[in-house]
Structure 1
């Protein structure tokens, strides 16, 4: 069910991102292509020949331009940073995010990464569902920061053992 994202998936990935853009940064074909090249993990879940979810993550030390990624780079080593995960609204609460995260955790352990990092919006709108999900998945807050978009984010890590 989970597979590597392909260029042919971009239009559906961009549509999913647009539907949740208030919690994400905007994407276009060019930016997504650059992120794809730099990514450590870029996977989708497909059902009935349609992308219904995706995850995009980067390893430490790559040339990714995100300020939040940069914060983790300044404070940690040997990590994978989850830039975004999006589940089609009609497929939420079915365990797909958990599947994508567990798949990423297994990859990270196999490749000897110590941490998985993520950030979650907490101001101006507190993202309760994401905070609860990350707590359930074993993440803990290690800091906060105000991003360029004037959002405050909770910086989270999960230690892998």
Structure 2
């Protein structure tokens, strides 16, 4: 079986909303208006498909975006340039099958050409060990904690250095090559499970 990663389509927003709000307490709920704002403003909004059905999605923003999130603001107050994973959701029946790893591999391949660091958070109130282990296996490290005042939730704030970025920046500056695989929209297909570097360590 394979996992396909592609940009979300507007008519799929109802399915995305249902998937988000069925994910449990580790993911903040959304309403349709909030999801529409994310759709209109997100730099990265992609879904994972397996067997022709939506299996997950990931939404991300560059550090200079206008984004309504106290966790995003926490990072922006401390770091000048990063790519922020706002949320990643995998359908419950697909967890443990490589969907989350496929989404993270894709968002990293997108971000490392454009940003020096990748940022995200893990809520600590709801059995976070598996999520922290998952992110640690990708090379994320905790750089602090933040309590979201609007939800009274404590989050571990995680960052990962993207090792390819300095070379890309020095070589291409602000103008990436005009190659189809660098442009959006695009679709990739990965055989599952997806293999990634266990540590993501820079040489």
TM-score range, shorter chain: over 0.9
Residue from 2, 6, 14 that aligns with 1:3 = 6
Question: What secondary structure is seen at the aligned counterpart in 2 of 1:97?
Answer: helix
Answer 1 or 2: which has greater helix percent: 1
Contact 1:9–1:51, Cα closer than 8 Å, also in 2: no
Q: Residue in 1 aligned with 2:92?
A: 89
Higher relative contact order (CA 8 A, sep 6+): 2
Following superposition, the deviation at residue 7 of structure 1 comes to 1.1
Question: Where does structure 1 differ by over 6 angstroms across 4 or more consecutive aligned residues?
Answer: none
Q: Residue in 2 aligned with 1:145?
A: 146
Q: Residue in 2 aligned with 1:131?
A: 132
Following superposition, the deviation at residue 21 of structure 1 comes to 4.2
Name structure 1 gaps, 5 residues minimum. none
Please report the TM-score for the alignment, with normalisation by the length of structure 2. Answer: 0.75
Please report the TM-score for the alignment, with normalisation by the length of structure 1. Answer: 0.94
Counterparts of 1:1-161 in structure 2, within 5 Å, are 1-111=4-114, 113-123=115-125, 125-148=126-149, 149-161=151-163
Following superposition, the deviation at residue 126 of structure 1 comes to 3.4
Taking only aligned residues, the RMSD between alpha carbons, in angstroms, comes to 1.2
Question: What secondary structure is seen at the aligned counterpart in 2 of 1:94?
Answer: coil
